[in-house]
Amino acid sequence: MGLFRGFVFLLVLCLLHQSNTSFIKLNNNGFEDIVIVIDPSVPEDEKIIEQIEDMVTTASTYLFEATEKRFFFKNVSILIPENWKENPQYKRPKHENHKHADVIVAPPTLPGRDEPYTKQFTECGEKGEYIHFTPDLLLGKKQNEYGPPGKLFVHEWAHLRWGVFDEYNEDQPFYRAKSKKIEATRCSAGISGRNRVYKCQGGSCLSRACRIDSTTKLYGKDCQFFPDKVQTEKASIMFMQSIDSVVEFCNEKTHNQEAPSLQNIKCNFRSTWEVISNSEDFKNTIPMVTPPPPPVFSLLKISQRIVCLVLDKSGSMGGKDRLNRMNQAAKHFLLQTVENGSWVGMVHFDSTATIVNKLIQIKSSDERNTLMAGLPTYPLGGTSICSGIKYAFQVIGELHSQLDGSEVLLLTDGEDNTASSCIDEVKQSGAIVHFIALGRAADEAVIEMSKITGGSHFYVSDEAQNNGLIDAFGALTSGNTDLSQKSLQVGTWAYNLQAKANPETLTITVTSRAANSSVPPITVNAKMNKDVNSFPSPMIVYAEILQGYVPVLGANVTAFIESQNGHTEVLELLDNGAGADSFKNDGVYSRYFTAYTENGRYSLKVRAHGGANTARLKLRPPLNRAAYIPGWVVNGEIEANPPRPEIDEDTQTTLEDFSRTASGGAFVVSQVPSLPLPDQYPPSQITDLDATVHEDKIILTWTAPGDNFDVGKVQRYIIRISASILDLRDSFDDALQVNTTDLSPKEANSKESFAFKPENISEENATHIFIAIKSIDKSNLTSKVSNIAQVTLFIPQANPDDIDPTPTPTPTPTPDKSHNSGVNISTLVLSVIGSVVIVNFILSTTI
């Protein structure tokens, strides 16, 4: 007898919304096949559809002019929820569903906060995941605060398509300019306005001058920049696209490199137009000579799910217990995964195909049991994949004359040199093909079918001692079902098992649904950054943990990457804003993967666990969002907009225990040499260089990179300083080097600290000292230059019209009468993009 006790890992399996699953393509300067999805939780309102069309149409003209007549929006599909009423204009979708959404219309992430944003967690110049708009914003209820929807769409499109970032910064709204003045973070610097405090309480509002923070020497946290309503500056769309005069992106001439904007931080001080101009879109187009046509819209309404299982029962399925494993996984799909109301059929194939079950609508366990009784019982014959697919089309066609949006779930273990003969038929069908490859001999033609139809594909090895097939089948939930209706675990489970044989392999899967439809469940989604890769290029694993749209922090997240020979590499994923992880505490956990063992297919699985009092929700607005406009300066007076709800970003909600498992599908690696692999991986770039001060020293802190990106330990660090940010960025090796003899590197992902005195800066007119780091590994491979920290050699001057002479109060220190008192006669202000501190050099004088 074997007794098992413990927690059950939930197998909630869904693919992360990937940028590479988008259907968007650029054709003759026009963006085609954009998918805009209205979330099922949005109350029915046909005006939303009208406003989406108006927004995209206006945005197309604005984008065309902003990109110097290069780009416009050609055609767009709007996906309408199943629970909205029928309309003769609505067609059945083909491949379009929530998983492929480029724009999502859904309630705000946080109540009352309607700012549009783009889910973006990769590096500068890389595509984002999706754009999020709220219904109220589309309906024009927030136009004063965020500007016209058409201009907003172009702002967010630049995030999504070209991987640029915002040119404002709510965490650092002001900075010290070379002019020795306090300036608002913006681009271009020529945008005019006033810095004021505007507070409303009890129906009355008060405007007053800003106060200087005694610590930062900048304006206090309650001070805001109010732009002038009438402007002449044309840039930038990534700052405040709502300004009437703004019609351009900041370029090399107009870009504000001094401002601590996220664009400067993430894109190495390049302007947004420089990043866009370096994109493949830009390189593959030339300006148009005539205006573009208006966008064409397709209205698509989600309907009941139709899926046909196409199962391989050829002779090769008799080996390695494949047929039995397939049937176990198919039973799980039929019992637990496929949703009530769905239509399900089944086809078997070997060298020919057989229709086992015509479409049956799932209403109860009776229909599920009927389908399970039809699973294959013995393997025999050859492999004809196209026969199975064509019979599936026949099954589906008996219910609907068109195959649009129907799904074919194909499992096979063999290659078929005739499979490519039906690729065109599959492409034209409108059906979605999901492919599960069992064993090594998966057919490339079927993988291509899956990609071109927007389906998912999985690789499951014979060597793996896990429930990979169940994982793959379990991942194939409907792309359009409300999340609350999908199979999910609720709570913690304890269980006992009585084994009937010794030894016996047992697989446990417990599923349920959300206990309350108004409380979104916790989900884990996983992906690799590429589907196809070649050595020595690294790959990145991503896992996103959300409750609704709110990130979950503090979870323990582990990735399992399995090769086709069954070798498994285990990686701890981190949300620390270092190495492969672009943003700290955004709920996306990341890590580099370089431990290739062979050529061929690899599969990804991610497990996440949140223990009691460790995992938590952080209520903060999403990154990469359009700027909220507090108001305008009109004829010298502030005309304020309605204040947005304040959020205490320190407020966190602790979650109960949870466990989740997510499949990230399969990827292929080629050109892997024989083991052991040569060392071709440098340390990862340091991206979180930060600073504090103690007495007369600058103390730098950062997260340690590794010998191979974020694994191992580097050999040494090189720290250099310069009075020119561009010289340090572009000619790092020529800058003045800091003595780091006493700096001994730590293991990757540890916190590093180093103190030094700023000396030997010779430029007489220097206003800043810039600091950066490179890392060297044992093979003398060198990292990229880190983010750049800066020391400001002056106390900035405030505009007299902006300030209140009353300083922000600070605690008065108790004098130490055992020593001579000091008089501060020289101040060095230290600022790092990401933090602000003050350095005071004290010269003592006797009183």
SS3 640: strand
Non-local (6+) Cβ contacts of 808 within 8 A are 211, 212, 213, 214, 220
Q: Let me know: does 149 contact 137? Beta carbons within 8 Å.
A: yes
Distant-in-sequence, close-in-space partners of 335: CB < 8 Å, separation ≥ 6: 368, 372
CB of 236 within 8 A of CB of 248? yes
Reply yes or no: is the peptide bond before residue 450 cis, omega within 30 of 0.
no
Phi, psi of 379 (to 5 degrees): -90, 140
Q: What's the CA angle centered on 725, arms 173 and 171, to 5 degrees?
A: 15
Structure tokens at 304: 């009941």
Measured on CA atoms in the order 133, 138, 140, 141, is the torsion positive or negative? Answer: negative
Helix intervals (H) in 333-379: 365-372
| Nearest of 147, 215, 224 to residue 193 by alpha carbon | 224
Q: Could you give the 3-state DSSP secondary structure of residue 367?
A: helix
The first and second tokens of residue 559, run together, are 């990735």
Angstrom distance (rounded) from CA 432 to CA 307? 9
3-state secondary structure at position 778: coil
Q: How many CA atoms lie within 13 A of 206 on its CB side?
A: 6
Q: Where are the beta strands (DSSP E) in 453-587?
A: 457-460, 522-528, 532-534, 539-547, 550-553, 556-563, 568-573
| Residues recognised as catalytic | 156
563 beta partners:
602
* Positive/negative CA dihedral, 326, 328, 330, 332: negative
How far, in Å, are 20, 199, 435, 820, 840 from residue 845 at the CA level? 65, 44, 79, 7, 15
Instruction: Retrieve residue 66's tokens.
Output: 């902003």
What CA–CA distance (Å, rounded) separates 359 from 311? 15
